[in-house]
Chains A and B, each alone.
Chain A
Amino acid sequence: MSILEKPLKGLSSSEYETLQKPLGKRIPYPMMGLGYVVGQRGERKLTRYLGVLDRPLMVTSERDLDEVEGRLLRDMPTPEMLPLFFKVMSAIDPQNKRRAMLLIGAPGAGKTFLGELAGNVSHEKGSITIDCTGMSLYELFFETVLDFNGDKSFYNALNAKIEKYNALVGDKDAQDKVLNPLSVDTMKRALGEAFSQDSGKICIDWSRVKHAHRDKDGELMDSAESTRIAREGLDLIREKEGLSSGAGNALGMATQAGPAWQAYKEGRVLILDELNRAKRGTFGILHRWMQFMIGEIPSCRIRNPLKEKGDQTQAELFFTRDEMGAGCYVFGTSNKLEDSDEVLELPEALSSRLVPEEVPKATLRGWQHRLCQILTGLPVSTIYEAQRDVWDQDPEAFGQQLLEWRMQREDREVPEHQMNMLRRWKDVLQATQHLAEFLDSAAKVVDPDSDWHKAGTLQQLLDDISESFKKEVSVDFRKINYFIDRAFQAKPYVRPPKTENGPEIVPLIGEMDMPETQDDIRHKLGTHMTYVIMDWIIGVSEDRGKSDLGNQLMRIAADCALIDPQLVEGMPTTRRTVAELLDENPYDSPDADIRLALVRNLMCDYLRSTHDEVRMDNESVMPLSAVRRAIEAVAGQEGGLLVFNDDLGSAIEAPIQKASSVDMTPAGDEGKVDSSMAPSADRLLSKYALLATLAAPKLRDHNLKGLWNDALSQSGVTDQGPEDLNQDSLAIAENRSDSGMAVTTVMVRDDAGAAETALHVIWNKELDRVLVVGEGDISASLKRAFNDARVAYVDRAHEDAEKVLHKGLGFVMGDSALRHEESMRKAFRMRNRVIPQSFMSNDEINLAKMMLNENLECFLPHYLVKKDEADHRPAPSL
């Protein structure tokens, strides 16, 4: 027997002690405090502040402390609701005489959640939640239901028939043989809203039968009437389907004590959800009972209005303090009168007894808290903010602690993506802050009663927004689930038309964002959530002819890093978008195995590009253990290049090989380039050999460093310019500029293996972004890997090369593009020139045009060569 079922007077002091769980004693539990902010001149302002409980909150629960902590960490109410949470948890203490509370608030504010949380944490069986919408409140005390246990064989047989019927979907004749079509029609009529048919399959929600019918005014019928209709129909079906036991009796119905009695006897929390939407004229029955629940009277009697003479049912329920289960508590929840036309004003006698507690409106913190909770299963933002000074001392330990708390006494199968998100908690914190800002702002924009509208800052939108529009598109916490659910659904990927003079259309979701299965959307959750939010903006604005509203929401979306401001203002930015923050990126994964798997996949793709015969799966071609060994072996190596071994015979043994380079830049006293010394094309590294490593963790940075040397400054051919004007350009050309920018050109073998080809590389070390300009396309898988490794590739031969290159330059240079354009161009010209000199001098051609010029020549080539080849001649600097 549950301790909470015992009446308070029957609880021993040790049982009472057992029920008291000190929340905040072992773990730092966030709570809102009340205090003064003291200004510099000593002035004080009273405010709420977020901190951690310094003295535990005693939570009444028959669960153990580990479980209480785990549940209350995961399901922690939002910061603005924490003061109310404190009241609610304190209120359910069995010693508290007042056993009822009314929570009032906007739809989606979390009223029901708070009541359920108290009920689920305290009692092993959880709370009893009753949706009172349209319901006669008499049903809380007496309800009529079908007697499933008395007629078990009939219900089992009918359910079995339904299963058979469902299995034959698509074969109407066969289905008709299992269940007579008349029976199906009768079922529909008799079971009303408890009956549903989905793609031809029948489903009966049996516990809904008691409230399955409505009267002509649309109000729910009483359970007695609804159950009677159901029983009559089921009796007919029993006859028609031959499921009668032969006795000929009608199926059983029973009037039983309702949920109010069940909560009273079992000592559970009862939630009367949407109490002020209950059936008009039925509130009267609650008055005496509420007096009893709040401790005004020691007992109360509720008479059964359905009791007829000779009837076996109970005539009355007698509630008394001495018998009430210690855990019994009632939470009523109500919407505010202004939130809906269907909401009734609670009778004064009732509301004055219940003393409504108002659930506060969501704040920015609340939005972020809910977003974190849904994405990770923990309110990371609140836990972090409550004592960030402590967590900042050891962020890694905080990450580990989050993982432990997520799993503390968790019975459910936790989705893997939540754990992955927790491992990237810093990104999630940043992304959810942006999303919270957007949702908070959007909620204010679409609400004509919000502070923003009252302040008159959005006057231009008043024509677009009305009260009815607000109700239709209102933004509350439920929107978060809506956006996330939709993010995981399929989306149309549409190729835009290419017309000569038409506008350029860039799809919001591209080929690389479309995973093979819907489940794989989790890897690109940020991109897909962004798409869904953008789709929502267009849906509530442009699609309804509300352009001003659309523009406003788009501006907010840009401010909140949902979209790149360049889409709005034409300016590139270095800020990471929500998509970048939330998308899973194997390149940056904190999980070493995921990074190794990426390297292995790149290796295998590379091997397959040179060996058609490799058809096995990647693990068979290259076990992860071999890759791990290879990466460990080269860790810490300085200088040179590291590339994938393309020799099938030795690849598993030595998956990574060294490569080197030969810079033709003459040494100071040599004068000019001796082209006879240049390595032949067959001795060069292939283009793919280098590119594949630029998408691989560890190898990327190692090889990027290896592409630059100090040959230019040693050569004397590069002029520092008057007063060292070219100094920064030279530093950029040698990857030692304070700006973090570097540009160079290296020569490799084209993938056809016939000739040398140039790769122009720009590296922005501050943003850690790379741009490679080369000749010829690269594979889709490499493009995808480049995307994750922040490498952009431009094919000079592509018909849209100029456009793509401009985008690529914007990507790699970020908002420093204008500042560095001149130095970058000069640095690029230290190895390259356009010949023959056109009517426009090299000084006048911008970097993009120069990189794409068909007469571009690399006059100081830097060759990347296979290691064994490099050994034949001295490499000047690597």
Chain B
Amino acid sequence: MNTQTNHMVTYNRAAGDRSGAMAMLAEGLLPVIARKKIAAGIPVYAGSSFFYEVGRGWESEVLRTDSSVTQARDTLALEEAFMNPAVKAILIPEGSAISKTVALRICRRHGLGKTVFYEVNDHE
């Protein structure tokens, strides 16, 4: 967050572009807001991980572009993400080859707790 804010201040001074700076600030805040909105829901406690189902929408779009969130489209990638201590949050995008049952099973297999966002299409 701090980096984002400092970046915004520099940008503001250099360009004198208030609306651009505001847009950047908003952009920096979006992942925080998206996560807060998702955490208002109830996760499944799978092993030590929190497993959140996220409806397809702007929140999941924000997660897709969030560099601190690792995407996993198949179980090999999901296992790899779980084994990497640097990965704290994982997004399983809608349409990937991981069912919810298997995703939960993999979460339970790994003792290190992560946040797993499982994107679903509410209209399906």
A415 to B96, CA, bound (A): 25
Contact B109 A129 (CB under 8 A): yes
A485 to B104, CA, bound (A): 14
The yes or no answer to A724 lying at the interface (CB within 8 A) is no
Given the complex, which residues of A lie within 8 Å of B49, measured CB to CB? 412
Contact A417 B48 (CB under 8 A): no
Given the complex, which residues of A lie within 8 Å of B57, measured CB to CB? none
- Beta-carbon contacts of A506-546 to B below 8 Å, as 1s and 0s? 00000000000001011000000000000000000000000
Contact B95 A204 (CB under 8 A): no
Min CB distance B106 to A, Å, is 7
Contact B88 A411 (CB under 8 A): yes
Min CB distance B101 to A, Å, is 6
Among A124, A196, A201, A205, the residue within 8 A (CB) of B85 is A124
Given the complex, which residues of A lie within 8 Å of B101, measured CB to CB? 196, 198, 203
A127 to B82, CA, bound (A): 12
The yes or no answer to A125 lying at the interface (CB within 8 A) is yes
Contact A202 B97 (CB under 8 A): yes
Chain B residues within 8 Å of chain A by Cβ, number: 40
Contact A413 B79 (CB under 8 A): no
**Which chain A residue has the least Cβ–Cβ distance from B35?**
A413
The yes or no answer to B7 lying at the interface (CB within 8 A) is no
Contact A206 B88 (CB under 8 A): no
**Which chain A residue has the least Cβ–Cβ distance from B106?**
A205
Among B52, B73, B99, the residue within 8 A (CB) of A163 is B73
Min CB distance B120 to A, Å, is 12
The yes or no answer to A37 lying at the interface (CB within 8 A) is no
Min CB distance A124 to B, Å, is 5
Do A163 and B96 contact each other (CB < 8 Å), given the known contacts A415-B39, A415-B42?
A: yes
A120 to B82, CA, bound (A): 13
- Beta-carbon contacts of A485-522 to B below 8 Å, as 1s and 0s? 10010000000000000000000000000000001011
Q: Pick the most buried of B50, B95, B99: most chain A CB atoms within 10 A of its CB.
A: B99
Contact B102 A205 (CB under 8 A): yes
- Beta-carbon contacts of A230-268 to B below 8 Å, as 1s and 0s? 000000000000000000000000000000000000000
Contact B74 A159 (CB under 8 A): yes
Given the complex, which residues of A lie within 8 Å of B45, measured CB to CB? 374, 481
Could you count the A-B residue pairs with CB atoms below 8 Å apart for me: how many are there?
103
The yes or no answer to B12 lying at the interface (CB within 8 A) is no
- Beta-carbon contacts of A699-727 to B below 8 Å, as 1s and 0s? 00000000000000000000000000000
**Which chain B residue has the least Cβ–Cβ distance from A374?**
B45
A120 to B44, CA, bound (A): 20
- Beta-carbon contacts of A102-133 to B below 8 Å, as 1s and 0s? 00000000000000100110001111010000
Chain A residues within 8 Å of chain B by Cβ, number: 39
Do A488 and B42 contact each other (CB < 8 Å), given the known contacts A125-B83, A129-B109, A413-B115?
A: yes
CB interface residues, A 411-461, toward B, < 8 Å? 411-417
Given the complex, which residues of A lie within 8 Å of B40, measured CB to CB? 415-416, 519
The yes or no answer to A398 lying at the interface (CB within 8 A) is no
The yes or no answer to B113 lying at the interface (CB within 8 A) is yes
The yes or no answer to A577 lying at the interface (CB within 8 A) is no
Contact B42 A521 (CB under 8 A): yes
Contact A415 B111 (CB under 8 A): no
Min CB distance A194 to B, Å, is 9
Do A412 and B115 contact each other (CB < 8 Å), given the known contacts A206-B75, A207-B79?
A: yes
Contact A413 B97 (CB under 8 A): no
Contact B97 A203 (CB under 8 A): yes
The yes or no answer to B8 lying at the interface (CB within 8 A) is no
Given the complex, which residues of A lie within 8 Å of B109, measured CB to CB? 129, 207
Among B39, B110, B115, the residue within 8 A (CB) of A416 is B39
Given the complex, which residues of B lie within 8 Å of A202, measured CB to CB? 97
Min CB distance B43 to A, Å, is 5
- Beta-carbon contacts of A198-222 to B below 8 Å, as 1s and 0s? 1001111111000000000000000
Given the complex, which residues of A lie within 8 Å of B14, measured CB to CB? none
Among B42, B89, B97, the residue within 8 A (CB) of A166 is B97
The yes or no answer to B105 lying at the interface (CB within 8 A) is yes
Contact B75 A126 (CB under 8 A): no
Given the complex, which residues of A lie within 8 Å of B48, measured CB to CB? 75, 116, 120
Among A127, A162, A522, the residue within 8 A (CB) of B42 is A522
Given the complex, which residues of A lie within 8 Å of B38, measured CB to CB? 413
Do A415 and B102 contact each other (CB < 8 Å), given the known contacts A124-B85, A126-B112?
A: no
Given the complex, which residues of B lie within 8 Å of A163, measured CB to CB? 73-74, 95-97
The yes or no answer to A167 lying at the interface (CB within 8 A) is yes
A205 to B82, CA, bound (A): 14
The yes or no answer to B98 lying at the interface (CB within 8 A) is yes
CB interface residues, A 135-181, toward B, < 8 Å? 148, 155, 159, 162-163, 166-167
Q: Pick the most buried of B36, B39, B83: most chain A CB atoms within 10 A of its CB.
A: B39
A162 to B102, CA, bound (A): 15
**Which chain A residue has the least Cβ–Cβ distance from B112?**
A126
**Which chain A residue has the least Cβ–Cβ distance from B103?**
A203
**Which chain B residue has the least Cβ–Cβ distance from A207?**
B79
The yes or no answer to B76 lying at the interface (CB within 8 A) is yes
Given the complex, which residues of B lie within 8 Å of A148, measured CB to CB? 76
Do A203 and B76 contact each other (CB < 8 Å), given the known contacts A119-B111, A125-B85?
A: no
Min CB distance A230 to B, Å, is 14
A416 to B33, CA, bound (A): 13
Given the complex, which residues of B lie within 8 Å of A196, measured CB to CB? 99, 101-102
The yes or no answer to B100 lying at the interface (CB within 8 A) is yes
A576 to B85, CA, bound (A): 45
Do A205 and B105 contact each other (CB < 8 Å), given the known contacts A413-B39, A415-B43, A488-B42?
A: yes
Contact B76 A155 (CB under 8 A): yes
Among B42, B89, B96, B112, the residue within 8 A (CB) of A120 is B112
Given the complex, which residues of A lie within 8 Å of B79, measured CB to CB? 206-207
**Which chain B residue has the least Cβ–Cβ distance from A410?**
B113
A125 to B99, CA, bound (A): 25
Min CB distance A593 to B, Å, is 14
CB interface residues, A 755-809, toward B, < 8 Å? none
A162 to B105, CA, bound (A): 19
A416 to B42, CA, bound (A): 8
A736 to B101, CA, bound (A): 62
Given the complex, which residues of A lie within 8 Å of B83, measured CB to CB? 125
Contact A519 B41 (CB under 8 A): yes
**Which chain B residue has the least Cβ–Cβ distance from A417?**
B42
Given the complex, which residues of B lie within 8 Å of A519, measured CB to CB? 40-42
Do A129 and B111 contact each other (CB < 8 Å), given the known contacts A412-B88, A415-B41?
A: yes
A412 to B87, CA, bound (A): 11
A534 to B86, CA, bound (A): 43
Contact A413 B110 (CB under 8 A): no
**Which chain A residue has the least Cβ–Cβ distance from B50?**
A412
Given the complex, which residues of B lie within 8 Å of A415, measured CB to CB? 39-43, 50
- Beta-carbon contacts of A29-47 to B below 8 Å, as 1s and 0s? 0000000000000000000
Min CB distance A812 to B, Å, is 34
A204 to B102, CA, bound (A): 8
- Beta-carbon contacts of B60-96 to A below 8 Å, as 1s and 0s? 0000000000000111100100010100110000011
Contact B114 A198 (CB under 8 A): no
Instruction: Point out residues on B near A: beta carbons under 8 Å.
Output: 35-36, 38-45, 48-50, 52, 73-76, 79, 83, 85, 88-89, 95-102, 105-106, 109-115
Question: Closest 9 CB pairs between A and B?
Answer: A203-B99, A126-B112, A116-B111, A159-B74, A162-B97, A413-B115, A198-B99, A411-B88, A519-B41
The contact sample of 30 A-B pairs, CB cut-off 8 A, is A119-B111, A120-B112, A126-B110, A129-B109, A148-B76, A159-B73, A159-B74, A159-B76, A159-B97, A162-B97, A167-B95, A196-B99, A198-B100, A205-B75, A205-B106, A206-B75, A206-B76, A374-B45, A412-B49, A412-B88, A413-B35, A413-B50, A413-B89, A413-B115, A415-B41, A415-B50, A416-B36, A416-B39, A416-B40, A485-B44
Known contacts A205-B106, A519-B40; 19 further A-B pairs (Cβ under 8 A): A116-B111, A119-B111, A120-B48, A124-B85, A126-B110, A148-B76, A163-B96, A163-B97, A203-B75, A203-B99, A203-B101, A206-B76, A411-B114, A412-B88, A412-B113, A413-B35, A413-B50, A413-B115, A416-B36
